[in-house]
Amino acid sequence: MADWRPSCPLPALKKRADVLATIRRFFSARNVLEVETPLLCRAGITDPSLHPFTTFLHQPGGSTGDRLYLQTSPEFAMKRLLAAGCGSIYQICKAFRNEESGRYHNPEFTLLEWYRVGFNLARLIDEIDALLAEICCDDLNLELSERFSYRELFREYVGADPLVASFEELAECSKIRGLPEAGELCGGDRSLWLDLLFSHLVQPSLGRSRIAFVYDYPAFLPSLARKKPDDPLVVERVEIFLEGLELGNGFYELADAVEQAERFDRDLVVRTENGLPLPAKDERLLAALRSGLPDCAGIALGLDRLLMILMRAESIDDVLAFPTARA
Amino acid sequence: MATFSTNEFKGGLKVMFDGDPCSIIENEFVKPGKGQAFNRVKLRNLKTGRVIERTFKSGETLEGADVVDTEMQYLYNDGELWHFMVPESFEQYAADANVVGDSKKWLKEQDVCILTLYNGTPISVTPPNFVELTIVETDPGIRGDTSGGGGKPATLDTGAVVRVPLFVQTGEVIKVDTRTGEYVSRVK
């Protein structure tokens, strides 16, 4: 068995350690508190496109027990800490997503997630920019970052408006741009249309030798972002791209418990329609929101993908010691 | 025939797509962090050789194709059909010009090729990676020339035309890489 060896070259381990040290220095200098929250969670995730790993908790000597989930992100637990008044926090942790494997996906991956109390999205973007500049400065020659609205990019690369274009129009644009299968694939599901066209036609061009921030995402795409007060069609969400790769996703965080509960319910309706498991809503998160989430913005960054770019790696396996296949 | 889901699409898997047997070349998982999962798949149509790119929703399925690659010896051409034989069973297959396509210029009697059979019928012929063929015609070159430099065209006994170094002469046997159509060396 030759696969006892790490699948990444040893310099990738060193680079990972350097990146972690840089992140900790960065946040320490800014008085952001490092925290840990459970990887094993009692509440599942309602997002229909996420498939969590599940296991069972047995009491000593017991053979049956409560269902637990491996977290798909530390978001809910970190928001509970925020609601408890801990101030700005960050965490470097593993997250787990079943049914996600490929060149850019390992079912177990490393996230950096942080929340800034009192920040709006623009201030958070500035901080992400500063952190990425520090992490990347030794390996990449990045030009100044760019910021685009989702709608403007979509119009440019797809040729139609993501919010109002008819499905026929989207199908026509897809055909011209080499995706004749799009119409049959997406039918009348606008969020599927947008996921397909953005990931296939827009994303590959984003962030070429500079970081691209994309903001003002359509409101009907799933997220935990606030609606924009002056434009109910979009939410205060930002995505980060570098070298065509999606690195992270940030929000001006939704603090309204009622709206959060409604979004959970909407997710559960979609899950029911698709025959997916129906996890319980995270009541502890809802209770925390009801007790009051401070005004804050937060972001999750995929560190393995960032390492891929720093190491110029072809596959996520080239930056992981032991990807799931040889874990 | 079995059906295969996008997660089973591996290089070399033979599936039916748009009514034709295809071979999967590449399968890339595409998924936005907050969004739905796709597989961007590259397939080669085994009848036409054309490469197609298609996106599927993760979990979609395609029917498997009854396609097998079989080693066969090339026997002869009767003016219309090319005849091949499985050496172990002596079973014979005939392929027409459409199926043999460009491979015909590399086929030398007795050489072992790969025939791709779909539902038992040949749909393509792959010649050996290297073949040894005789030059039937080429301009006389200048003696003393090394293998570098421009070269000249040479017609081979199968009708193929390849560029050879100037010192190679009519009547000589040369080794050719059929994947690139390039001269490799002289054969003593």
A183-211: b or e for each residue (b if 16 or more CB lie within 10 Å)? bebbeeebbbbbbbbbbbbbbeebbeebb
Using the beta-carbon criterion (under 8 Å), do B33 and A196 form an inter-chain contact?
Answer: no
β-sheet bridge partners, residue B82:
B77, B95
Confidence bin at A162 (pLDDT 50/70/90) = very high
Shortest distance, CA A63 to any CA of chain B (angstroms): 33
Using the beta-carbon criterion (under 8 Å), do B34 and A178 form an inter-chain contact?
Answer: no
Using the beta-carbon criterion (under 8 Å), do B33 and A200 form an inter-chain contact?
Answer: no
For residue B40, the chain A residues in CB contact (below 8 A) are 200
Are the folds of B3-63 and B67-126 the same?
no
Shortest distance, CA A182 to any CA of chain B (angstroms): 8
Per the document, the length of chain A is: 327
The ranges assigned to domains in chain B are: 3-63, 67-126, 130-187
Shortest distance, CA B33 to any CA of chain A (angstroms): 8
Using the beta-carbon criterion (under 8 Å), do A222 and B35 form an inter-chain contact?
Answer: yes
Lowest mean pLDDT among A163-172, A266-275, B67-76, B141-150: B141-150
Closest CA to B39 of A104, A249, A173, A225: A104
The predicted model gives B63-87 an average pLDDT of: 95
pLDDT at B149: 62
For residue B28, the chain A residues in CB contact (below 8 A) are 102-103
Residue A29 host element (H or E)? helix A10-29
The predicted model gives A97-120 an average pLDDT of: 97
φ, ψ (nearest 5 deg) of residue A164: -115, -15
Question: What is the second-level CATH architecture of the domain B67-126?
Answer: Beta Barrel (2.40)
**CA–CA gap between residue B103 and residue B95 (Å, rounded):** 12
**CA–CA gap between residue A167 and residue B177 (Å, rounded):** 50
pLDDT at B146: 57
Q: Is A112 helix (H, G, I), strand (E, B) or coil?
A: strand
Contact between A57 and B44 under an 8 Å Cβ cutoff? The reply is no
Shortest distance, CA B36 to any CA of chain A (angstroms): 5
Residue A228: is its pLDDT beyond 80? yes
Residues 6+ positions from A2 with CB-CB distance below 8 Å: none
Instruction: Name the token pair of A309.
Output: 């770019």
The CATH class of the B3-63 domain is mainly beta
The ranges assigned to domains in chain A are: 2-142+211-326, 147-208
Burial of B99 (0-12, 13-18, 19+ CB in 10 A): buried
Residues 6+ positions from A142 with CB-CB distance below 8 Å: A132, A133, A136, A209, A210, A211
Q: Dump pLDDT digits (tens) for B10-33.
A: 999 999 999 999 999 999 999 998
Matching residue, tokens 């009848």: B47
For residue B43, the chain A residues in CB contact (below 8 A) are none
- Which amino acid does the sequence have at A12? A
Residue A175: is its pLDDT beyond 90? yes
Instruction: Name the token pair of A280.
Output: 């319980």
Q: Is B40 helix (H, G, I), strand (E, B) or coil?
A: strand
State chain A's mean pLDDT as an integer: 95
Q: Is A52 helix (H, G, I), strand (E, B) or coil?
A: coil
**Cβ-nearest to A103 among B28, B33, B58:** B28
Q: Dump pLDDT digits (tens) for A9-26.
A: 999 999 999 999 999 999
Quickly count: other Cβ atoms within 10 Å of residue A279's Cβ.
19
Model's pTM, two decimal places? 0.85
Contact between A199 and A216 under an 8 Å Cβ cutoff? The reply is no
**CA–CA gap between residue B118 and residue B60 (Å, rounded):** 23
For residue B17, the chain A residues in CB contact (below 8 A) are none
For residue A75, the chain B residues in CB contact (below 8 A) are none
The CATH class of the A2-142+211-326 domain is alpha beta
**CA–CA gap between residue A205 and residue B22 (Å, rounded):** 30
**CA–CA gap between residue A253 and residue A242 (Å, rounded):** 23
On whether ipTM exceeds 0.95, the answer is no
pLDDT at A278: 93
φ, ψ (nearest 5 deg) of residue B99: -75, -40
CATH topology of domain B130-187: OB fold (Dihydrolipoamide Acetyltransferase, E2P) (2.40.50)
Q: Dump pLDDT digits (tens) for B77-90.
A: 999 999 999 999 99
B57 interfacial to chain A (CB closer than 8 Å):
yes
Helix, strand, coil percentages in chain A from 3-state DSSP, rounded to 5:
40, 25, 35
φ, ψ (nearest 5 deg) of residue A321: -60, -55
Quickly count: other Cβ atoms within 10 Å of residue A66's Cβ.
10
Residue B1: is its pLDDT beyond 80? no
**Cβ-nearest to A101 among B29, B30, B32:** B29
Q: Please work out, in degrees rounded to the nearest 5, the angle formed at the alpha carbon of residue A213 by the alpha carbons of A207 and A216.
A: 135
For residue B54, the chain A residues in CB contact (below 8 A) are 181
Using the beta-carbon criterion (under 8 Å), do A185 and B57 form an inter-chain contact?
Answer: yes
Shortest distance, CA B102 to any CA of chain A (angstroms): 28
